[in-house]
Amino acid sequence: MKKQIALALAAAMSVGMLAGCGGGAASSTAGAASEAASTGSSGGSGSLTISWWGGDSRHAAYQEAIKAFTEETGVTVEPSYGAWSGWEEAKSTALAAGQGEDVMQVNWNWLYQYSGEGQSFADLNEFADIIDLSQFPQSALDACTVAGELQAIPVAMTGRTFYWNMNTYKAAGIETAPASYEDLIAAGKAFQEKLGDEYYPLCVGPYDRMIMMTFWLESNYGKAWVENKTCNYTVEEITEGMNFIKSLEDNHVIPTMENYYGAGFDSIDKSTQWIDGQYAGIFEWDSSANKYNDALADNSGFTVGEEIKWGDKANGGFAKVSMGLAITETCKDKESAAKLINFLLNEEKGASIMGTECGMVSSAAGQAAAEAAGKVKPLVKQANDIVMGFVDFQLDPDYESSKLKGSDGIYTDAFDGFSYGDYTAEEAAEILLDGVNGVLASA
């Protein structure tokens, strides 16, 4: 019951926060974005709709780029955009109703989950005379090929690493960023003793915990999380992973989920605790480096951390196609939509505006344009280099199924229930294993 009350309170507070924050670019066109989301695909040639999620700087880059596209081609583009919270739920509903925008920024797993038979997104091989596919690594194109069709163009490859606020660490008497499990345990004690109970070396939500536990398991066992459509771990092994996460709570390295939800924030970068330095670490995508850096009241201590090798069997961890640009089957002017994608990702004018707002660019031409324009963000490049030089595994496409990572999904149930004391470590492991295999079997 405590968990349900806290979740309800957090959800109610999130609605209020979303109404009050969001920043200039997103809020200035809220009406237009809302209208675009409700009307879906444009009615004919000469105009397009496009949707994406992200932070304020990504919103600004997309808007500048689509304005440049309109000036060059005469094709008007109506945007719909917002924060990630609730985004997939809204867009999956729109896709099911045939109301997706003409061009959609999509998560990699959407291709499998919402277009497993090619029903939602167009085959972009048919527009190879417009989109220069030779600029993209074949492995990335292959990852976006589902049901024999290239259903999205890969924007970037990404993975997770740590970011630290070294100002807070130094206030706790720690001069170097954590590089091991032992460092984190020592930091938890120092934070509590020197700064107080409200200060934590690291903050991770339920999905962050799942990813970090996967890294830990792969490091200690040297095998991928999923193989041949089956979870590659036993209940006993996952129980060890759950206890690893619990040890971080018990040693004041991370807040409990009750503490996490009680703070009432929509995302960590929007939280007072991150902004003011009470949470001094996060485990996030490399493409998010600037978002978290910019959110800090004092970012002079912001540091991109090295990966932590949790075990000696492998480095552990995974990389994935971070997102793609897809054309919906309901789009009335697919050729113009293909031109827009090529403009954003391959052409000098568009790619130089987009830079690394969506992560390190997969397109060779796009990356060159971004570099020439000085739009490759050093923090994003640093984080991406760290991730890509470390991880040993690829992400299974069903790992990010909404049935697993959604706010009411299996990951949240398992990690929340365990943190609240509703489940033992073994019970949480059983829920996780059964849930993952259930999704894999139905995919």
**How would you write 219-287 as a 3-class SS string?**
HHHCCCCEECCEECCCHHHHHHHHHHHHHHHHCCCCCCHHHHHHCCCCCHHHCHHHHCCCECEEEEEHH
414/406 Cα distance (integer angstroms): 12
Answer yes or no: is 400 within a domain. Answer: yes
Residue 146 β-bridge partners: 149
Q: State the pLDDT confidence band at 45, using cuts at 50, 70 and 90.
A: low
Answer yes or no: is 207 within a domain. Answer: yes
Instruction: Give yes or no: residues 175 and 201 share one domain.
Output: yes
| Full domain range(s) for residue 17 | 2-157+321-377
100/2 Cα distance (integer angstroms): 38
Neighbours of 402 (CB within 10 A): 18
Answer yes or no: is 92 within a domain. Answer: yes
Instruction: Give yes or no: residues 103 and 41 share one domain.
Output: yes
**Do residues 266 and 22 touch, judged by C-beta distance below 8 A?**
no
Q: pLDDT tens digits for 391-410?
A: 999 889 899 998 999 889 99
274/83 Cα distance (integer angstroms): 17
Answer yes or no: is 382 within a domain. Answer: no
336/317 Cα distance (integer angstroms): 38
Average pLDDT over residues 143-172: 96
Domain end point (choices 354, 377, 400): 377
Helix 181-194 / helix 235-250 crossing angle, nearest 10 deg = 30
Instruction: Give yes or no: residues 112 and 98 share one domain.
Output: yes
**Do residues 92 and 402 touch, judged by C-beta distance below 8 A?**
yes
pLDDT for residue 10: 42
Instruction: Give yes or no: residues 357 and 402 share one domain.
Output: no
**Do residues 277 and 165 touch, judged by C-beta distance below 8 A?**
yes
Q: Say which residue the tokens 């690394």 belong to.
A: 356
pLDDT for residue 44: 43
DSSP state, residue 121: B
Instruction: Give yes or no: residues 367 and 223 share one domain.
Output: no
Instruction: Give yes or no: residues 184 and 329 share one domain.
Output: no
- CATH number where 191 lies: 3.40.190.10
Q: pLDDT tens digits for 56-65?
A: 999 999 999 9
Instruction: Give yes or no: residues 411 and 368 share one domain.
Output: no
Average pLDDT over residues 261-281: 95
Instruction: Give yes or no: residues 178 and 282 share one domain.
Output: yes
Answer yes or no: is 100 within a domain. Answer: yes
What are phi and psi for residue 302, nearest 5 degrees? -65, 130
Answer yes or no: is 384 within a domain. Answer: no
How confident is the prediction for the chain on average, in pLDDT?
Answer: 90
Answer yes or no: is 383 within a domain. Answer: no
Domain total for the chain? 2
Instruction: Give yes or no: residues 346 and 310 share one domain.
Output: no
Answer yes or no: is 385 within a domain. Answer: no
Q: State the pLDDT confidence band at 287, using cuts at 50, 70 and 90.
A: confident
Instruction: Give yes or no: residues 371 and 425 share one domain.
Output: no
Q: pLDDT tens digits for 171-203?
A: 999 999 999 999 999 999 999 999 999 999 999
Q: pLDDT tens digits for 406-433?
A: 889 999 999 999 999 999 999 999 999 9
Instruction: Give yes or no: residues 221 and 295 share one domain.
Output: yes
Instruction: Give yes or no: residues 24 and 145 share one domain.
Output: yes
Domain end point (choices 333, 349, 377): 377
